[in-house]
Structure 1
């Protein structure tokens, strides 16, 4: 897989993450669950900035950024705060794995950026109520 292919794959994942965070945000309440609402909002903002940066990286690598799909499967019911929290946690776990694949396929500034973003998503899992992991994004190493 080339660096451009890995960037495109990561960008495609970010499109899905943004869609999912939009759905999660619609299923939270700033008044009823303010901490969850704030966490989902912060996650959305980080992923939006990540998506925008990936678009620029793809263009810098000579590619045409992959477009977002019309819709994505967000999986399972999202009717309660714990369900929304679990979905956001799973989303960040998936993001770590995708970003680490980009780390493995890239060098220099792209690798540094991807590692920084993977670290953020791994740490953000703690903010979402997840447990600390020895090797986030690489469960086969546990």
Structure 2
């Protein structure tokens, strides 16, 4: 990773460019009507049932491992929020009581991973708004599984970008341009992060993240190009959200970068052709954010004022 000097960092940080990752919010919200709500009903019912099974596993493991109550209780609270998000527009109901199949924390971690894979399996069947929620819940589930010790793959979810349609639909191109702009900022930000991380595992983690964001940036540029759209160029400079002065603040910046990227990729999940790639990118950013110490919300990438994008 190129390591800018402290002097060059301060000079570049003072440039009047865009705010870091500005615009990576819910600007591309879709509000489906009654038809989309009805079409989503089978998906929502399936996903609520899967969530209830996961909640039953939490109940079983909490009963068997009371020493893990604090840690597992926080994760279970997230799963309850997942259920609320997925059950929106359905008649009000409580989690279905049942006997969980998990008997240990390892079993629970595997259940989280499997359930996250089920979210991804329904991406293409969902409306744009529900697809955002599914991708966010899947990212959270992957983070739960990792926190509990299971880092296995969720599914073959199209993490490698495939050729874009020609021409690329306008809505898809706009969301992809926003994601590309966010990746430009992330590449710049990780250049700053690398200048302040000490030699060793932390710096290697920074290098790996820097390379991953370069690769993702390049992939989005290729997709836009093959879709007949001119890719957004990087800004001349980016204003950092706070001053980076040591390894601790460098890690905070990395966590901030990844957290902001989850919003861009939640928006990209509302597209039609790019959902699998967007969901994979959302999950990777959520996992990196947690790795750098971010306190992930139950629904990564979704606005905190809106529990879940839902049919109105």
Check whether TM > 0.5. yes
- What CA RMSD, in Å, does the superposition of the two structures yield over aligned residues? 1.6
Q: How far apart in 1 are the matches of 2:173 and 2:236? A: 23
Aligned position for 1:44: 210
- 2:276 maps to 112
Whole-Å separation in 2 of the counterparts to 1:55 and 1:84: 27
How many aligned residue pairs are there?
A: 137
Unaligned runs of 5+ in 2: 1-27, 29-170
1:132 Cα offset (Å): 4.3
Summarize the alignment of residues 1-142 of structure 1 with structure 2, pairs less than 5 Å apart: 2-30=171-199, 34-104=200-270, 106-108=271-273, 110-138=274-302, 139-140=304-305, 141=307
Q: Is the 8 A contact 1:4 1:58 kept in 2?
A: yes
Any idea what SS the aligned residue of 1:136 has?
coil
The structure whose Rg is larger is 2
Give me the TM-score of the superposition, normalised by structure 2: 0.42
Tell me how far apart the structure 2 counterparts of residues 51 and 60 of structure 1 sit (CA, whole Å): 14
> What do the CA deviations read for 1:99-130 (whole angstroms, capped 9, x no partner)?
111111x123x111011010010011121122
Task: Tell me, yes or no, if the aligned pair for 1:102 and 1:111 is still in contact at 8 Å.
Answer: yes
Tell me the CA shift for residue 57 of structure 1.
Answer: 1.1
Deviation at residue 3 of structure 1 after TM alignment: 0.8
1:12-35 per-residue CA deviation (whole Å, 9 max, x = no partner) reads 1111110111111112221xxx23
Moved more, 124-133 or 55-64: 124-133
Contact 1:93 1:122 in 2 (8 A): yes
Considering fraction of residues, name the structure with more helix: 1
Go from structure 1 to structure 2 and tell me whether the alpha carbon gap of 1:75 and 1:131 turns closer, same or farther (over 3 Å shift): closer
Instruction: Report if the CA contact (8 A) 2:185-2:234 is conserved.
Output: yes
Unaligned runs of 5+ in 1: none
Structure 1: 4+ residue segments shifted above 2 A:
130-133, 139-142
8 Å CA contact 2:259–2:301 kept in 1: the answer is: yes
